[in-house]
């Protein structure tokens, strides 16, 4: 009896049948989402409502296709041109199909035999990124599950390289610290705390008016940390920052790191992808001088989440990070084998991430990332111009990346921050657009990240009009 149940789980013919049905369901759904603007970006419901839907579903006799439909109806649609919210790539379909292969084959990839194709392809795609960064043959990279983990891994490598070598065996013998801009992604802060640096070990340097790290203050902050007894091991550059999309001056940071014997890490999780663009790669001038660089494929590079490249200028550093015995996995920790990728990653088992990137390049050509970035960054410039010229709107800053922050300011007696919050909430609940918000200084701003190359001028106009209508209504009521 049990055998029959289990046999059913693995029936290739049923997989074929259901697989066709699921692909049809998804393709129909995507067609709707991509072409019908009145299809909601998100059919917003409260957490309680959604929870009770699924609780009911769980105890009902709903069929698997009903479950899949239920998931579609309760999920945000990043393929919708009016999804202009968080920084998640609109996945290329071929990449999602490679993801299906990954989930079926489930090659753990950490050791060579558990991922022959995925390990070899990982070398190819990370070498490509290394080349785009401008690194030499000395460089080598790996893929890992997200920018957060990649940044932590890079800082572990930094500690290995710059702190006393005993730290991996004996723990911290001195107070270590890293320097980073105030505007850095919160995961840098988290990584530093996980490393045991504590809040004092994260030296947050203020930013200039354009939100890039205040390079003239670097010496002052370093000296003050040294005076307090900290050994600063690394400086992190943002390329770009998350809230406002500001790029730090990487050349100045590289000089500073060199002069003070610091590890130089670039968090390019969002905006590092510009290394693929002739037009925008000037934003990361100096990136090839970094010791390590993080780039999320699932942000600007069209790949489903999570999928992150961590590239080291010097391959040796990547092998040193996790030196540790694991006899059952590999014979020796001390040999440098690119094809046993688990030697260099935090994860033991990991997804076959590389095939999702490779599939895009093979199906659509090496220029596809450049086209995507140029399109999205160009769209941001156009949108910002529109906002600047539109009455009653205020642009928070000129965009360097595809992140545009703004607000509606003609609110009469009302509090602009409260109106901004409320506008976003009502907009999201309407299902017409998805945007987010951020705080800059004391002010709330509506925050958009243009991720979909098919978001159009018409969508931007409609968004501003919708915001204006909601804001006017809110400003005139009590
Ligand atoms: C998104 C982002 C991260 C975090 O990356 P995840 O892939 O979400 O873990 C880190 N830094 C920056 C600058 C980011 O934009």
| Average confidence (pLDDT) over 408-436 | 96
| Average confidence (pLDDT) over 141-165 | 94
Q: What is the pLDDT of residue 126?
A: 97
Ligand 1 center–CA 185 separation, angstroms: 7
Ligand 1 center–CA 242 separation, angstroms: 8
Q: pLDDT band at 331, cuts 50/70/90?
A: low
Q: What is the pLDDT of residue 322?
A: 86
Q: Which atom of ligand 1 is nearest to the CA of 270?
A: 15
Ligand 1 pocket mutation, candidates 86, 89, 147, criterion most atoms within 8 A of CB: 147
| Average confidence (pLDDT) over 376-389 | 98
Q: Which atom of ligand 1 is nearest to the CA of 241?
A: 13
| Res. 351: pLDDT tops 60 | yes
SS (H, E, C) 131-188: HHHCCCCCCEEEEECCHHHHHHHHHHHHHHHHCCCCHHHHCCCCCEEEEEECCCCHHH
Ligand 1 pocket residue status of 309, Cβ below 6 Å: no
Of 417, 395, 419, the C-alpha closest to 406 is 395
Ligand 1 pocket residue status of 265, Cβ below 6 Å: no
| Res. 328: pLDDT tops 60 | yes
Q: pLDDT band at 32, cuts 50/70/90?
A: very high
pTM for the structure as a whole: 0.96
Distance, in Å, from the CA atom of 186 to the CA atom of 438, rounded to the nearest integer, reads 14
Q: pLDDT band at 1, cuts 50/70/90?
A: low
Ligand 1 pocket residue status of 148, Cβ below 6 Å: yes
Q: What is the pLDDT of residue 185?
A: 95
| Res. 158: pLDDT tops 90 | yes
3-state secondary structure of 5: helix
Distance, in Å, from the CA atom of 440 to the CA atom of 420, rounded to the nearest integer, reads 13
Q: pLDDT band at 330, cuts 50/70/90?
A: low
Q: What is the pLDDT of residue 334?
A: 65
In tens, the pLDDT along 228-271 reads 999 999 999 999 999 999 999 999 999 999 999 999 999 999 99
More confidently predicted of 340 and 370: 370
| Res. 332: pLDDT tops 80 | no
Q: What is the pLDDT of residue 37?
A: 87
Decide if 94 contacts 357 (C-beta within 8 A).
no
Ligand 1 pocket residue status of 87, Cβ below 6 Å: yes
Q: What is the pLDDT of residue 321?
A: 87
Q: What is the pLDDT of residue 325?
A: 62
Ligand 1 center–CA 451 separation, angstroms: 15
Ligand 1 pocket residue status of 80, Cβ below 6 Å: no
pLDDT cut 90: percent of the chain above it:
89
In tens, the pLDDT along 190-243 reads 999 999 999 999 999 999 999 999 999 999 999 999 999 999 999 999 999 999
List Cβ neighbours of 428 (8 Å cut-off, separation of 6 or more): 42, 44, 434, 435
Decide if 456 contacts 95 (C-beta within 8 A).
no
Ligand 1 center–CA 269 separation, angstroms: 5
| Res. 327: pLDDT tops 60 | no
Ligand 1 center–CA 85 separation, angstroms: 14
Ligand 1 pocket mutation, candidates 187, 241, 244, criterion most atoms within 8 A of CB: 187
Q: What is the pLDDT of residue 169?
A: 84
Ligand 1 center–CA 120 separation, angstroms: 26
| Res. 449: pLDDT tops 90 | yes
> Quick count: other Cβ atoms within 10 Å of Cβ 334?
7
Distance, in Å, from the CA atom of 336 to the CA atom of 318, rounded to the nearest integer, reads 10
Mean pLDDT of the chain: 95
Ligand 1 center–CA 145 separation, angstroms: 11
Specify the length of the chain in residues: 478
Ligand 1 center–CA 247 separation, angstroms: 14
Decide if 445 contacts 406 (C-beta within 8 A).
yes
Ligand 1 center–CA 412 separation, angstroms: 37
| Res. 298: pLDDT tops 70 | yes
3-state secondary structure of 53: helix
Distance, in Å, from the CA atom of 360 to the CA atom of 364, rounded to the nearest integer, reads 6
In tens, the pLDDT along 79-116 reads 999 999 999 999 999 999 999 999 999 999 989 999 99
Decide if 393 contacts 370 (C-beta within 8 A).
no
Ligand 1 pocket residue status of 310, Cβ below 6 Å: no
Ligand 1 center–CA 431 separation, angstroms: 26
Ligand 1 pocket residue status of 248, Cβ below 6 Å: no
Ligand 1 pocket residue status of 77, Cβ below 6 Å: no
Residues 418, 423, 429, 435: what is their CA dihedral angle, to the nearest 10 degrees?
A: -110
């Amino acid at each position: 009896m049990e055998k029959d149940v289990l046999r059913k789980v693995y029936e290739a013919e049923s997989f074929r049948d259901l697989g066709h049905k699921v692909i049809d369901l998804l393709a129909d759904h995507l067609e709707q989402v991509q072409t019908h603007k009145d299809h909601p970006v998100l059919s917003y419901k409260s957490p309680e409502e959604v929870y009770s839907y699924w609780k009911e579903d769980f105890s009902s006799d709903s069929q698997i296709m009903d479950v899949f439909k239920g998931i579609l109806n309760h999920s945000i649609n990043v393929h919708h041109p009016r999804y202009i919210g968080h920084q998640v790539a609109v996945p290329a379909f071929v990449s999602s199909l490679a993801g299906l292969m990954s989930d079926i084959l489930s090659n753990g990839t950490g050791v060579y035999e558990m991922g022959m194709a995925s390990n070899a392809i990982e070398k190819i795609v990370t070498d490509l990124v290394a080349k785009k960064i401008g690194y030499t043959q000395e460089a080598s990279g790996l893929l890992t599950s997200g920018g957060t983990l990649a940044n932590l891994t890079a800082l572990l490598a930094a500690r290995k390289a710059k702190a006393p070598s005993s730290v991996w065996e004996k723990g911290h013998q001195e107070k270590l610290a890293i320097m980073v801009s105030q505007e850095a992604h919160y995961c840098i802060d988290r990584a530093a705390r996980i490393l045991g640096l504590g809040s004092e070990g994260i030296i947050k340097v203020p930013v200039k008016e354009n939100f890039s790290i205040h390079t003239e203050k670097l010496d002052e902050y370093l000296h003050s940390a040294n005076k307090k007894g900290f050994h600063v091991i690394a400086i992190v550059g943002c390329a770009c920052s998350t809230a406002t999309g500001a790029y730090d001056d990487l050349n100045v940071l590289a000089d500073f790191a060199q002069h003070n014997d610091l590890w130089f890490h670039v968090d390019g999780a969002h905006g590092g992808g510009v290394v693929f663009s002739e037009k925008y790669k000037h934003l990361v001038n100096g990136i090839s001088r970094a010791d390590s660089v993080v780039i999320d494929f699932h942000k600007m590079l069209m790949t489903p989440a999570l999928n992150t490249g961590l590239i080291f200028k010097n391959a040796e550093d990547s092998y040193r990070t996790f030196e540790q015995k694991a006899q059952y996995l590999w014979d020796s920790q001390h040999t440098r084998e690119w094809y046993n990728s688990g030697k260099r990653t935090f994860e033991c088992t990991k997804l076959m991430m590389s095939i999702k990137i490779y599939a895009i390049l093979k199906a659509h050509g090496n220029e596809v990332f450049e086209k995507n970035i140029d399109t999205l960054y160009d769209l941001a410039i156009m949108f910002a111009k529109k906002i600047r010229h539109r009455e009653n709107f205020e642009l928070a800053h000129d965009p360097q990346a595809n992140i545009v922050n703004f607000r509606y300011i003609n609110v009469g007696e009302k509090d602009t921050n409260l109106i901004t919050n409320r506008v976003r909430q009502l907009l999201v609940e309407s299902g017409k657009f998805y945007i987010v918000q951020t705080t800059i200084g004391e002010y709330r701003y509506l925050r958009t990240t243009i991720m979909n190359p098919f978001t159009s001028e018409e969508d931007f106009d409609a968004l501003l009009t919708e915001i204006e209508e909601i804001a006017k209504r809110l400003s005139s009521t009590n």
